[in-house]
C-alpha cells in the first residue's frame, strides 16, 4: 500500500511530503453507549488508512483516492461540500480545524486504505483521524488528541449526516498496539488495558456478513433520538440524569408509561450495556475470558431484540457461534449489517471459520469474509 501511494504521489505531484496513517477499530463491548455518556472498550486494529500529504502553497486541496481511482479538488474557503462522498471527510476535517481556530494550508495528497468499507470497522474514522492528525502536525496547531477526535466526530455530524458518538474517532486517535481502551464517554477519562487473548489460549475473529443497510445512518440517528427522549423523561424525576447512562433501571421503569415502548426498550438495552463494559473489564483483569464472552452474548441479545440493530445474517452467525461453543460473539459497531466479533478458543478456530463460511454461504448465497485482527497503533506519522 505504501509503495503504491508513494508512486502515485510522485506521478501526480512530484516529490515531497510525509506519510501519515490511522486505523480502523474493533470494540470488544459497549455498543451505542458512547452518545449516552456510557463506557466503550475499543482498540485500533491493523487495518489502516495511509496518506502522503504535502503542503502546496495554495488555498486548495488536491486529493486523490487510490481505492476509487478518483481525484477531487476543493478550496479551503468554499462553503459547499464536494460531490464525492469520500472527499467530504477530508473537506469536513479541514473546515472543522479552521472552525476551532486552527491553521490549514492547502495540500496535495494521495491516500489508500485496507479497512473494509461498510463492515462496521470505522473506515471513515480512520480517514478523519489520519487527516486531522496530519493537518494538525503540518500546521503546528497543537490540538490534543481529544480535539482531533472531536474534529472527526463533528465532520460526521456536519458533513456526513451521522450523529455519531466519539468512540470510533477516539479509538483511531488513541489506539495503542496490544491494548484496548476503556473510555468513559461522559468524563472522557480513559484507561489502557493490555489485551493478549493468545496468551490465554483465545483468538479474536471477525465474520463480515457483507450486508450493508441502505438506511443505516437515519436508523442510527433515530436510535439516538429514542435514547435522548427516554433520558429527558427520567430527568424530570431525577434532575441529576444528564445522559441516559446516569439512570438506574428502576428510574426507567418509573417512566415506562410515559414514553413509547420502543424508546423504553432502547433505553433498557443501554442501561444494561454500560454495566456490562465494567463487568467485562473486571473479568479480563482476572483473565476470565469465559465471563467476558458470556457478556458479549448478552450484548448481542440486547442489540438484536431491544435495540434492533441486528439483521437475519448477523443473528444467524451469532447462533452458530453459540452452537459451536464459541466463547463470545456479537454484532459489532453501529449494526444494520457488518461484522460479528468473536472471542474463540484457539483450538476451535479452524472448525468455526469453516462452518461459518459453509453454512452462511449455503443459507444466504454469498460467502462471509473472515478478518483476523491485531490490536495496533492509531493516528501517527509513518515517515
Ligand atoms: C458507530 C458510531 C459510534 C458508536 C457505534 C455504536 O460506530 O460511529 O459512535 O455509536 O456506532 O456503538
How close is the Cα of 167 to the center of ligand 1, in Å?
Answer: 6
Q: Whose CA is nearest to atom 1 of ligand 1?
A: 334
User: Is residue 377 among the annotated active site residues?
Assistant: no
Number of H helices, E strands in the chain: 11, 13
Q: Whose CA is nearest to atom 9 of ligand 1?
A: 165
How close is the Cα of 166 to the center of ligand 1, in Å?
Answer: 8
pLDDT reported for residue 215: 65
Name 288's Cβ contacts closer than 8 Å, sequence gap at least 6: none
Mutate to test the pocket of ligand 1, among 220, 334, 339 (most ligand atoms within 8 A of CB): 334
How close is the Cα of 259 to the center of ligand 1, in Å?
Answer: 24
303-to-19, 138, 153, 268, 316 alpha-carbon distances in Å: 38, 41, 23, 11, 14
Of the residues 34, 108, 136, 168, only one is catalytic, namely: 168
Question: What is the atom index within ligand 1 of the atom nearest the CA of 165?
Answer: 9
Three cell numbers, residue 268: 433498557
Three cell numbers, residue 156: 460526521
Gyration radius of the chain's alpha carbons: 21
Q: Whose CA is nearest to atom 5 of ligand 1?
A: 334
In the chain, the N- to C-terminal Cα span, in Å, equals 14
pLDDT reported for residue 213: 76
Three cell numbers, residue 368: 462471509
pLDDT tens per residue across span 37-56: 999 999 999 999 999 999 99
Q: Whose CA is nearest to atom 2 of ligand 1?
A: 164
Question: What is the atom index within ligand 1 of the atom nearest the CA of 162?
Answer: 8
Please give the chain's pLDDT, 383 residues, in tens. 999 999 999 999 999 999 999 999 999 999 999 999 999 999 999 999 999 999 999 999 999 999 999 999 999 999 899 999 999 999 999 999 999 999 999 999 999 999 999 899 999 999 999 999 999 999 999 999 999 999 999 999 999 989 999 999 999 999 999 999 999 999 999 999 999 999 999 999 999 999 987 667 899 999 999 999 999 999 999 999 999 999 999 999 999 999 999 999 999 999 999 999 999 999 999 999 999 999 999 999 999 999 999 999 999 999 999 999 999 999 999 999 999 999 999 999 999 999 999 999 999 999 999 999 999 999 999 99
How close is the Cα of 369 to the center of ligand 1, in Å?
Answer: 21
Residues 175, 45: Cα–Cα separation, whole Å: 8
Residues 347, 57: Cα–Cα separation, whole Å: 56
pLDDT reported for residue 254: 98
Residues 169, 127: Cα–Cα separation, whole Å: 9
pLDDT tens per residue across span 309-348: 999 999 999 999 999 999 999 999 999 999 999 999 999 9
Residue 246 phi, psi (nearest 5): -80, -10
Amino acid at each position: 500500500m505504501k509503495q503504491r501511494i508513494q508512486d502515485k504521489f510522485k506521478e501526480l505531484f512530484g516529490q515531497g511530503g510525509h506519510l501519515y496513517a490511522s486505523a480502523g477499530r474493533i470494540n470488544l463491548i459497549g455498543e451505542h453507549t458512547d452518545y449516552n455518556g456510557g463506557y466503550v472498550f475499543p482498540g485500533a486494529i491493523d487495518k489502516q488508512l495511509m496518506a502522503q500529504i504535502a503542503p502546496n502553497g495554495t488555498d486548495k486541496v488536491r486529493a486523490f483516492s487510490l481505492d476509487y481511482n478518483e481525484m477531487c479538488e476543493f478550496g479551503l474557503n468554499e462553503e459547499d461540500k464536494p460531490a464525492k462522498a469520500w472527499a467530504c471527510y477530508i473537506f469536513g476535517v479541514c473546515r472543522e480545524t479552521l472552525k476551532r481556530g486552527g491553521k490549514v494550508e492547502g495540500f496535495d495528497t494521495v491516500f489508500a486504505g485496507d479497512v473494509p468499507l461498510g463492515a462496521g470497522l470505522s473506515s471513515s474514522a480512520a480517514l478523519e483521524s489520519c487527516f486531522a492528525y496530519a493537518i494538525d502536525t503540518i500546521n503546528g496547531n497543537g490540538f490534543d488528541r481529544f480535539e482531533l477526535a472531536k474534529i472527526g466526530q463533528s465532520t460526521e455530524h456536519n458533513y456526513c449526516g451521522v450523529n455519531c458518538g466519539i468512540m470510533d474517532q477516539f479509538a483511531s486517535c488513541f489506539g495503542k498496539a496490544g491494548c484496548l481502551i476503556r473510555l468513559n464517554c461522559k468524563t472522557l477519562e480513559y484507561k489502557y488495558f493490555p489485551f493478549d487473548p493468545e496468551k490465554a489460549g483465545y483468538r479474536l475473529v471477525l465474520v463480515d456478513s457483507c450486508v450493508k443497510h441502505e438506511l443505516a445512518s437515519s436508523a442510527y440517528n433515530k436510535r439516538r433520538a429514542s435514547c435522548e427522549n427516554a433520558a429527558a423523561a427520567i430527568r424530570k424525576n431525577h434532575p441529576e440524569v444528564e445522559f441516559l447512562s446516569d439512570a438506574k433501571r428502576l428510574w426507567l421503569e418509573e417512566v415506562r408509561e410515559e414514553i413509547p415502548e420502543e424508546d423504553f426498550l432502547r433505553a433498557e438495552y443501554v442501561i444494561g450495556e454500560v454495566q456490562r463494559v465494567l463487568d467485562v473489564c473486571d473479568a479480563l483483569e482476572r483473565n476470565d475470558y469465559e465471563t467476558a464472552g458470556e457478556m458479549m452474548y448478552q450484548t448481542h441479545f440486547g442489540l438484536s431484540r431491544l435495540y434492533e440493530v441486528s439483521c437475519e445474517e448477523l443473528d444467524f452467525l451469532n447462533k452458530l457461534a453459540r452452537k459451536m461453543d464459541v466463547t463470545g460473539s456479537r454484532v459489532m459497531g453501529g449494526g444494520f449489517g457488518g461484522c460479528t466479533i468473536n472471542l474463540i478458543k484457539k483450538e476451535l478456530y479452524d472448525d468455526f471459520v469453516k462452518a461459518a463460511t459453509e453454512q452462511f454461504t449455503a443459507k444466504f448465497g454469498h460467502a462471509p469474509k473472515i478478518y483476523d485482527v491485531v490490536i495496533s497503533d492509531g493516528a501517527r506519522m509513518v515517515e
